[in-house]
Amino acid sequence: MVDKKSVYELSVGGSIPDTDIIDGGLKVDEHDFVPHFQRVSISGEDTSGVPLEDLHRASKMLIDALHVREEYMTMSNQSFPLLTSRFLRSGKEGPDIDHHVHDDKKTVEDHPVHAPQSTGDPWDCDFPPVSDCVIKLKAGVFQVYPDDTTETPLNYPYPDLATFIADMNKLCCMIADGPLKSFCYRRLSYLSSKFQLHVLLNELRELASQKAVPHRDFYNIRKVDTHIHAASCMNQKHLLRFIKKTLKNHWDEVVTETVKDGKMTLNEVFQSMNLTSYDLTVDMLDVHADRNTFHRFDKFNAKYNPIGESRLREVFLKTDNYLNGKYFARIIKEVSSDLEESKYQNAELRLSIYGKNLDEWDKLATWAITYSVYSDNVRWLIQIPRLFDIFKNNKLMTNFQEFINNIFLPLFEVTKDPQSHPNLHKFLQYVIGFDSVDDESKPENPLFDKDVSTPDRWSDEENPPYAYYQYYMFANLTILNHFRRDKGLNTFVLRPHCGEAGPIQHLVCGYMMAENISHGLLLRKVPVLQYLYYLAQIGIAMSPLSNNSLFLNYHRNPLPEYLARGLCVSLSTDDPLQFHFTKEPLMEEYSIAAQVWKLSSCDMSELARNSVLMSGFPHKMKQYWLGPNYTKEGVAGNDITRTNVPDIRVAFRTETLIDELSNIFKVIYKDGGML
């Protein structure tokens, strides 16, 4: 065994006293131990491979960018990695940061003996008393005032639109900087090569440590599907079987009502299509993505309609319909039952709030509670489709402010007085965050003008840019999180679709405002952003099978490259209805990735551990799944008996990240101050 002090000496070069600082970044705890494995050390003080001038300039820009993200994450009550935060803090406040080293340290006594599960009514919860606060709107962002007479809102910090645009412009200029691009590309190439050397030297050790763990293997470690849509969380065979069963048992149930046809039973709906239960096949259902959907998001969206009929989608796959989503609730519960049976698979299902009217939240919450759509293996994300242009063209609203009101006003009302929306208050305890969805490849005007219209004046038929949507979601979410935290309620995170297609500015927005993102394919083209995503350890939920049908052939997917470099990536299914064939779509995703990219058992376990870390499941559940100390950095936070990830791999990742951060910070800061 080698003590941690020696490990850090190896990772940064040279020797250090027992209680000294590593390049102004992190204090050593000599009582923590890491496993012995073969490391590659680079001789000399300067390990960047670039002239000192270039290193100094690149380091300053990267540190500025990290400060921007930390500020936005702190404001919005979202997470920022402790390790990177300590380096940033040591530069600003001096070297004495020992009090941060043991943050979030958990003891074995904190560890749940049994898996945390709901007992009794899962919707039972406390109702805090009504608040005297007043909610008012200011330039598109809801503000909380102590009372009606006070003109100054509560001190809930958030960036105004001009500040956000200035920060985004600064980052956009940064990622286009030639010398910085070269520096980041070299560091990313170095990370890839270093990982290949690590595997070459330590693969057998990693495998041996996995084999030495009793009971645990890849099949019985916890995995979370971090990106999956509720309306397509079942496979095509499951949907077909469900439709046939429903048609057989509930053929006489009235399922829809239209002005033209009046009320129609399920049997009459199928008769109008000249179909019987016997006729239905998977091919006729036609919900699977194929070669015709490649770069055709319009055709892909049409696949959500079974047999090409939007009426069937409304009957079976919607929460707000004539039956109040009864059939959709049943099939979601069947999927949840499959997850519970598998025990080790979990999902964060996305439900839609369109922003068409103020009643959507209450209807969604009533749907969930009426049909008891709950599972210990499922948490909810709310996806907001970027469809203002369609609502505007159909004269459903006059300006963008109405869209924001419909999404956020009910959330502020229920936070102020839970009794005003009792079902919504109960439902929100299982909502973990917000997603932003639509076809990213649609052309748009980038958001660079500080004088852009506020939402109450945005009445164009043109859809606002991606960054405009993200800013107002982030700003309102930030105020809402402050308000909910003060009342002792759970807060939310922003986890949008980002970087699947479209402009690079989307990824800049994700870097600034999102705790995690989904897809992130375009990072492969932007070395500066990719390196920043690595340094900030931003979670990226990747769906190679989905991308293969829509935007990027499987063999070109950057996931194995991201994983090798140490980015925090996980595997997810996106839409099992369109892309998967088996009863366990997440395992299908893992198995195909393992076969095509020759992933080792250690790689697969690392991806699974990442998925749990970036998920929104409760702290107690994560403790049970990953170990009592999972919030600590490095080996101290890993429990191989639960994660099946060898300490060797975790130590390598942590030391490499420390090495990269040290490489940047040691040029800029010396003894806690600027050089």
198, 288, 519, 580: the active-site residue: 519
> What is the identity of the amino acid at 309?
E
Q: Is 519 a catalytic residue?
A: yes
Of 670, 673, 675, 674, nearest to 23 by C-alpha is 670
Angle at 568 between CA 564 and CA 569, to 5 degrees: 80
Answer for the pair 350, 228: CB distance below 8 angstroms, yes or no: yes
DSSP symbols for 452-518: PPPGGG---SSPPPHHHHHHHHHHHHHHHHHHHHHTT----EE--EESSSS-THHHHHHHHH-SEEE
Alpha-carbon distance values, 581 to 226, 237, 377, 440, 586 (Å): 19, 8, 21, 26, 11
Q: What SS3 state is found at 157?
A: coil
Task: Look at the alpha carbons of 434, 440, 443, 448 in this order and tell me if their dihedral is positive or negative.
Answer: positive
The residue type found at 214 is P
Q: How far is CA 538 from CA 78, 131, 316, 413, 434, in A?
A: 11, 35, 36, 32, 16
CB of 180 closer than 8 Å to CB of 518: no
- Spatial contact of 108 and 636, defined as CB atoms under 8 Å apart: no
Amino acid at 123: W
Going by C-alpha positions, the residue among 524, 554, 521, 567 that lies closest to residue 191 is 567
Closest CA to 33 of 662, 659, 663, 650: 650
Q: Which residues are catalytic?
A: 519
